Structure 1
Amino acid sequence: MNYLKGAIDIHVHSSPSIFPRSVDDLELAEQAKRAGMRAIVLKAHEESTVSRAKLVSKVVEGIEVYGSLVLNEYVGGLNPYAVDMAIQQGAKLIWMPTGSAKHHIDHYGGKSDYKEQKSTIRLLPQKGITVLSEDGRLLPVVYDILDLVKGSGAVLATGHLSPLETKVLVEAAVSRGVEKVLVAHPDLKINKMDLSLQCELVKMGAYVEKSMLTLMPQWKSIEPDELVRGIRQLGTENCILQTDFGQANHPVPTEGYNQFIQILLDHGITETEIEQMACSNPAELLGLQAK
């Protein structure tokens, strides 16, 4: 059964990429269109996907395709110039560092790669990016980035920062007036955070992602019943479903999304709640008109 009519995947990977992918940008858009999805947001750890999304949109009609920017070393790290350019060109999400985050590198024992998937090209060694100074304060450049995101219509997303960094960042973003904040896969083992902290961030005004990737054998971080209990505690109005798929050893993202929804339904989430988390909430986050 297809559950994807009107659904949005705000966090999905495709090639070209430094990692092996199951689909390229065009294949992903075509498959999402056939599944009846409304929109996808392309994410790449190594570059802005804004231009890619624009080209795909010209080729594949009937599906909205958007780009994003991840602030890894490959775009200059915490680089306001890259943020400004991406936003002006239409980026929907500005992600804090992922593979370049110090927390990520510490998690993998000094590597910016992943144990679960290896880059197809050589990666230079990285010291790791943190958003905090030695005294625990947010770096001045991060405030510059927050000010660029504020009022732009784009979303500030947290990436692979540590739970502490994420908390400080979200607090600052909200107090600074950033309208849209997204906590990236807080159940994933790389940046896993307690449910109590997720609840705290939601009370500040952030959305939290709930991800199919966290249920996959190689990336297993949480059991489905615990994931559903977390959604119940956080409130479906504060959660956004995504796949984080595109890894070559997984089903293609549309199949993965359908499987994810089936798992949630089997564990007591209702179709109305699915519609909220897969369609309404991400549409609101992306600034798309209600349907």
Structure 2
Amino acid sequence: MNLLEGAIDIHVHSSPSIFPRSVDDFQLAEQAKAAGMRAIVLKAHEESTVSRAKLVSKIVQGIEVYGSLVLNEYVGGLNPYAVDLAIQQGAKLIWMPTGSARNHIEYYQGQSDYKEQRSTVRLLPQKGITIFDENGKLLPVVYDIIDLIKESDVCLATGHLSPRETKVLVQTAAERGLGKILVAHPDLKINKMELSLQCELVALGAYVEKSMLTLMPKWKSIEPEELVQGIRQLGVERCILQTDFGQANHPTPTVGYQKFIELLLEYGLEEKEIHRMACQNPAILLGLST
């Protein structure tokens, strides 16, 4: 059986990038296609990947390639103009800040970089973006961004915000009727949150990522047994498998996805459960048929 048949990687990195990558956009698409995957979503911390995805789609036939936007300082931070344009151009996911998030910078003791794999370019110092004002209330621009995403029926993803910020963001987005909300790798040490909070967010209608990256040596944040137990408690109906791969010191994303599924099967998940999390759930967020 081909474990990747029809699978979608909703969170994957490739070059060009400010970080060393194992594959470029075209190689990633070709490898995913050869593995029988249905779709990939390109993610870059420094720019919109929508135009890149369109170019790849013209060259590599037989797999769907989509772009996304991360609201880091490099695109103006919490910038509704960037959000609006990316959506109109075809972005499927709008991510809250990652390396520019205050929570990320505090975790790395003042750095917007990653100690696990350094950027290949100089990064200017950043104060760090938070979605709260000085009184702990959501900034008005966050409501604007939520509404733009809702009106376009694309997906809001939480990025590297703190657990508290993530909770308020998901609550607010759900209250405003946004139907596609993705909690980014809540097991990863940068923005790690308790399983009880993950359950709260799922109850509000959010999906949560379960990531191969969280099991890798330099990024190790959780044991496989605990990850599978979390999936069981959250329910496969609300979990989405992804690799978050592309780092130059890891297997290529397609190989990583294969190993991830093999590991989950080894720890007791069933093929039908894998199919739900790897194929059906991400298709829902991308607006594809299931």
User: Which TM-score bucket, shorter chain as reference?
Assistant: over 0.9
TM-score by length of 2: 0.99
Deviation at 1:289, TM superposition (A): 1.1
- Within 1, Cα distance between the matches of 2:61 and 2:161? 36
Q: How does 1:1-291 map to 2 (within 5 A)?
A: 2-290=2-290
CA-to-aligned-CA distance 1:124-158 (integer Å, 9 cap, x gap) = 00000000112211100000100100121210000
Aligned to 1:125, the other structure's residue is in SS state coil
TM-score by length of 1: 0.99
Identity, % of aligned pairs?
Answer: 79
Deviation at 1:274, TM superposition (A): 0.2
Deviation at 1:255, TM superposition (A): 0.2
Deviation at 1:92, TM superposition (A): 0.3
- Within 2, Cα distance between the matches of 1:149 and 1:177? 10
Maintained 8 Å contact 1:151/1:179 = no
Letter aligned with residue 184 of structure 2: A
- Within 1, Cα distance between the matches of 2:8 and 2:188? 20
Aligned to 1:240, the other structure's residue is in SS state strand
Aligned to 2:45, the other structure's residue is in SS state coil
CA-to-aligned-CA distance 1:71-118 (integer Å, 9 cap, x gap) = 000000000000000000010000000000000000000000001010
Maintained 8 Å contact 1:46/1:70 = yes
Aligned to 2:191, the other structure's residue is in SS state coil
Letter aligned with residue 183 of structure 1: V
> Runs (4+) of structure 1 moved beyond 3 Å?
none
What root-mean-square deviation, in Å, do the aligned CA atoms of Structure 1 and Structure 2 show? 0.6
- Within 2, Cα distance between the matches of 1:284 and 1:131? 27
Letter aligned with residue 17 of structure 2: S
**Alignment gaps of 5+ in structure 1:** none
Number of residues paired by the alignment?
A: 290
Deviation at 1:178, TM superposition (A): 1.0
Letter aligned with residue 146 of structure 2: L
- Within 1, Cα distance between the matches of 2:197 and 2:29? 35
Aligned to 2:274, the other structure's residue is in SS state helix
- Within 1, Cα distance between the matches of 2:195 and 2:289? 31
- Within 1, Cα distance between the matches of 2:183 and 2:136? 20
Maintained 8 Å contact 1:111/1:125 = yes
**Alignment gaps of 5+ in structure 2:** none
Aligned to 1:94, the other structure's residue is in SS state strand
Aligned to 1:150, the other structure's residue is in SS state helix
- Within 2, Cα distance between the matches of 1:247 and 1:121? 15
Aligned to 2:240, the other structure's residue is in SS state strand
Letter aligned with residue 159 of structure 1: G
- Within 2, Cα distance between the matches of 1:43 and 1:153? 19
- Within 2, Cα distance between the matches of 1:52 and 1:176? 31
- Within 2, Cα distance between the matches of 1:160 and 1:64? 26
